[in-house]
Structure 1
Amino acid sequence: MKTNTLDFDAKALREKILNLAIRGKLVKQDSNDESATVLLKKIKLEKQKLIKEKKIRKSKSLKAITSKEKPFDIPDSWEWVKFGEIVQFSLGKTPSRGMTEYWNNGTIPWVSIGDIKNEKYLKETKEKISESALDDKFKNELVPANTLLMSFKLSIGKVCILKVPAVHNEAIISIHPFINTNYITRDYLYYVLPLISNMGEFTPAIKGKTLNKTLLQELKIPLPPLEEQSRIAAKIAQLFALLRKVESSTQQYAKLQTLLKSKVLDLAMRGKLVEQDPHDEPASVLLEKIKAEKEQLIKEKKIKKSKPLPPITDAEKPFDLPDSWEWVRLGEVIDVKGGKRIPKGKKLKDTFEYKPYIRVADMKNETIDSGQLKYATKAIYEQIKKYTISSEDIYFSIAGTIGKVGKIPLSLDGALLTENAAKLILLDNNLLSKIFLIYALKSNIVKNQHNKILSKVAQPKLALIKLKNTIIPLPPLSEQKRIVRRIINLFSGLN
């Protein structure tokens, strides 16, 4: 998924960096490093010592990883190990919500998955528990600061390092490496666990969106020498910091693009983007032609006669227009019709059936993205076939995300339209520029009107009559075309 308009895919780049890291290709190996084989022996000795001192319990031995189980080659100085061989981990708990004394006036941070964001260190939690909850449920076992946490249910592989002592819920494990010299193993695991825990090719541990304790123990980890772990963690941190800078710059550029495009549209709608031509037929004459065309279509029964729209008051006009322009209500210059909900009990199909069904989710970049289209059966189509949209029409979303607007591709001519959108039907393409109308509907003039309407309703849905009553500036037809050419030229320089 791309993060911005510069085709900069930070997520993919991060995964590429991590893939190189776990294959020993991110930093050079150093022949002076003590190998991972020696490190593993030290870990086993440390583990035995902790068992002897009764600081940890003895666990079942894990089976050795066979050659067939190793998903890819790693450097000779590395070792394939199982997660349970190099760390001890603990599951969390959630104090009873019914026990108000566990949650009221709490001072002890309680970590849930929602608290684990993109930051490396976790300093604050949304909820805190009381001392009594700690005594009753956690038996005074606070997870110490500097401990690595990882989610293993629902959202697998979200990681953070505690900056304060805390406890956590049952969807999170606290991870304690048996050897953690200067936190090297911890920091190496911090970077690689999100990738490893989500790669199904590594292990059969992934079952839907949950890892259980046994499968966590079996999770296969490529383990470098301790010194190389340090170099890998430092290199990843350096590259990720650079990516964040690039992301920030590109996000700022994307915001600037949006701002500039908005300014261009604002100037266009005020008649300040191109010069007026005194030879142009004024919009007042154009309006008479549109009115005559509408009456003819009503007479021919191609469209229905609708109630007259109220005249536009001076108070409604946000600014003055050039003398050759006119303020008009949308319903004066086009016909507006709604879409239709799928009949109750019926379901759309993912593969081609009878007719495409266009949803608001399919409306992207002023057109329709056919990648995730749903399809109606013939039975569905027969029930709602009056609610199709033509490639000559414009769509406008009126529920959920309000104001998505654009053209219908020729390949989707006659597709069914969701009830969460309206189709705007041009009475005559020779009397109004479709592209100008799209730009007008994308402008702040229209957005501001709709925002005022939507702020007064509980559910974000724009009624068709409100859409018809929306006012837009109407230039002479020739000027509409000049404005469109100028906008396209300016926008191409911003992409």
Structure 2
Amino acid sequence: MNTNQNLCPIIWKIQELSHLCELITDGSHFSPVPQADGEIIANVKDMTEWGINYNSCTRISTAEFDFLCRQNCSPKHNDVLLSKDGTIGRVVVYRDHRKIVLLSSIAILRTNGKIDPDYLYTILRSDIFNRQLYQLQSGSALKRLVLKDINKLKIPCPTLPEQRKIARILSTVNSVIEKTEASIAKYKAIKQGMMLDLFTRGLDANGRLRPRHEDAPHLYKQTELGLVPKEWEVARIGDFANVKGGKRLPAGQDFADVMTPFPYLRVTDMVDGTIDQRDLKYVPENIEPLIRAYKISKNDVYVTIAGTLGLFGTVPDNLDNAQLTENAAKITDFNSKDYNRDYIKYQCNSEVIQSGSSLFQVG
């Protein structure tokens, strides 16, 4: 079967959401007066990947809360919640039996048994939903979804057992993603701790961390950066390298419509000390001679100087001599072999330098 949304198996039915829900409504269209204590009313900001963050919710009086409950502004267990104003497309399956109410920026979708709530959750987080959102824009920025359009959303529906299997598979994948993200966050925290130790204590002749200053004060000296090992020097970047800026495209010129031999590195491409190459832009071949003096070498270190400030990194070999944005600068022309570019990158991203100093430790 070929629908406006996608290809799907011929035995699947395509149904409007209104035929799959016993209730499609939204929360309160007035904002109750916030209270220091009281009952919970949730907004889009309170929707997370794992449900409603009660700690960030507003509190309202019991009288207004009871009134909104009578107006069907309160979700029930297994209702699907969809953000529809401002931020569109956040989705939560309400698993709690706790009584809360919602503001009108959140739609309540109460299924009628023909669709599994977890399956509906996956559909509303998929390209099937995003394509329909795109069609609703009709050439203008879509700032909100109205209930009339939500009712007309097209949903591909296999049998209930197949829906549940699909939802279970995707739930397993989501669980792996959550665990992976938690591991990444853990190791990032470990890395930050290691960086602080390595850039304040350094390594001894045996490759081990020096004892802390509290345990061996004779191994350290006081500098403008604070305590550092006695053998280290403190220098400014300008003492051992040059700092040069990048360049924007000439006025009135756009990026190339196709890939050229001349990649252009923007601040948005500068991630985690390297370059995210998934959405690179390219300089047109006829424009490149006009700005070729502002390239960055694989031996340089970049630093962002506009937009997101103070990100340091290096470019991979395949982007050697890429064009550098005017919103970044490069640390280049190192005048001594005593300075390692990767060491500079990591130290400049450490708390020691990110705290605001332009000084640099050299071990």
**Structure 1 residue 319, shift from structure 2 partner:** 1.7
2:18 counterpart SS class: helix
**Structure 1 residue 358, shift from structure 2 partner:** 1.9
Deviations 1:358-397 (A, max 9, x none): 2222234654344322234578767755533344433233
Q: Corresponding residue for 1:472?
A: 361
**Structure 1 residue 158, shift from structure 2 partner:** 0.6
CA 1:349 to 1:167, structure 2 compared with 1: closer, same or farther past 3 Å? farther
CA 1:394 to 1:234, structure 2 compared with 1: closer, same or farther past 3 Å? closer
TM-score between the two structures when normalised by the length of structure 1: 0.53
Task: Specify which of 205, 228, 234 is matched with residue 319 of structure 1.
Answer: 228
Is structure 2 residue 124 aligned with structure 1 residue 197?
yes
Q: Corresponding residue for 1:405?
A: 313
Q: Between Structure 1 and Structure 2, which shows a larger proportion of strand residues? A: 2
* Counterparts of 1:148 and 1:388, CA distance in 2: 54
1:305-384 equivalences under 5 Å are 314-316=223-225, 318-322=227-231, 326-340=233-247, 347-349=254-256, 351-352=258-259, 355-364=262-271, 366-376=273-283
* Counterparts of 2:119 and 2:333, CA distance in 1: 56
The answer to whether the 8 Å contact 1:368/1:408 transfers is yes
The answer to whether the 8 Å contact 2:68/2:74 transfers is no
Task: Specify which of 105, 113, 116 is matched with residue 35 of structure 2.
Answer: 105
Deviations 1:419-439 (A, max 9, x none): 3322122345xx4156x2321
The answer to whether the 8 Å contact 2:42/2:100 transfers is yes
**Structure 1 residue 196, shift from structure 2 partner:** 1.7
1:172-321 equivalences under 5 Å are 172-178=106-112, 188-189=116-117, 191-200=118-127, 205-206=132-133, 207=135, 208=137, 210=145, 213-214=148-149, 216-217=151-152, 219-222=154-157, 224=159, 228=161, 232=165, 239=172, 243=176, 246-247=179-180, 250-251=183-184, 254-255=187-188, 258=191, 262=195, 265-266=198-199, 269-272=202-205, 274=207, 314-316=223-225, 318-321=227-230
1:173 maps to a residue whose letter is A
Q: Corresponding residue for 2:82?
A: 151
* Counterparts of 2:291 and 2:170, CA distance in 1: 56
When Rg is computed on C-alpha atoms for both structures, the one with the higher figure is: 1
2:236 maps to a residue whose letter is R
1:452 maps to a residue whose letter is S
**Structure 1 residue 335, shift from structure 2 partner:** 1.7
**Structure 1 residue 333, shift from structure 2 partner:** 1.5
Is structure 2 residue 321 aligned with structure 1 residue 418?
no
CA 1:471 to 1:152, structure 2 compared with 1: closer, same or farther past 3 Å? closer
**Mean alpha-carbon deviation: is it higher for 124-133 or for 229-238?**
229-238
CA 1:356 to 1:238, structure 2 compared with 1: closer, same or farther past 3 Å? closer
Backbone CA RMSD of aligned residues:
4.7
1:247 maps to a residue whose letter is T
Deviations 1:280-335 (A, max 9, x none): xxxxxxxxxxxxxxxxxxxxxxxxxxxxxxxx98454522243xx64433222212
CA 1:167 to 1:334, structure 2 compared with 1: closer, same or farther past 3 Å? same
Is structure 2 residue 25 aligned with structure 1 residue 118?
no
Q: Between Structure 1 and Structure 2, which shows a larger proportion of helix residues? A: 1
2:35 maps to a residue whose letter is N
Deviations 1:216-253 (A, max 9, x none): 3453342545xx48975995698469637843773366
Q: Corresponding residue for 1:437?
A: 341
Task: Specify which of 345, 353, 357 is matched with residue 450 of structure 1.
Answer: 353
Unaligned runs of 5+ in 1: 1-66, 180-184, 276-311, 454-465, 475-495
* Counterparts of 1:177 and 1:410, CA distance in 2: 52
The answer to whether the 8 Å contact 2:201/2:229 transfers is no
1:165 maps to a residue whose letter is K
* Counterparts of 1:346 and 1:360, CA distance in 2: 19
The answer to whether the 8 Å contact 2:79/2:111 transfers is no
**Structure 1 residue 197, shift from structure 2 partner:** 2.8
CA 1:128 to 1:232, structure 2 compared with 1: closer, same or farther past 3 Å? farther
2:33 maps to a residue whose letter is W
**Structure 1 residue 174, shift from structure 2 partner:** 1.5
TM-score between the two structures when normalised by the length of structure 2: 0.68
* Counterparts of 1:219 and 1:260, CA distance in 2: 50
* Counterparts of 2:299 and 2:174, CA distance in 1: 48
2:337 maps to a residue whose letter is L
The answer to whether the 8 Å contact 1:80/1:220 transfers is yes
1:437 maps to a residue whose letter is R
The answer to whether the 8 Å contact 2:245/2:329 transfers is yes
Q: 4+ residue runs of structure 1 moved beyond 6 angstroms?
A: 131-139
Across the two proteins, how many residue pairs are aligned to each other?
Answer: 335
**Structure 1 residue 148, shift from structure 2 partner:** 0.8
The answer to whether the 8 Å contact 1:108/1:128 transfers is yes
Q: Corresponding residue for 2:213?
A: none
**Structure 1 residue 135, shift from structure 2 partner:** 8.9
The answer to whether the 8 Å contact 1:367/1:406 transfers is yes
Sequence identity, in percent?
Answer: 19
Deviations 1:95-140 (A, max 9, x none): 456xxxx324384533322222122466566234557867998874
2:91 maps to a residue whose letter is K
**Structure 1 residue 155, shift from structure 2 partner:** 3.0
Q: Corresponding residue for 2:301?
A: 394
* Counterparts of 2:296 and 2:52, CA distance in 1: 51
CA 1:341 to 1:131, structure 2 compared with 1: closer, same or farther past 3 Å? farther
* Counterparts of 2:182 and 2:63, CA distance in 1: 48
1:26-105 equivalences under 5 Å are 71-72=8-9, 82-93=16-27, 95-96=29-30, 102-105=32-35
CA 1:422 to 1:321, structure 2 compared with 1: closer, same or farther past 3 Å? farther
The answer to whether the 8 Å contact 2:93/2:121 transfers is no
1:442 counterpart SS class: helix
2:235 maps to a residue whose letter is V
Unaligned runs of 5+ in 2: 209-220
* Counterparts of 1:450 and 1:235, CA distance in 2: 46
CA 1:96 to 1:173, structure 2 compared with 1: closer, same or farther past 3 Å? closer
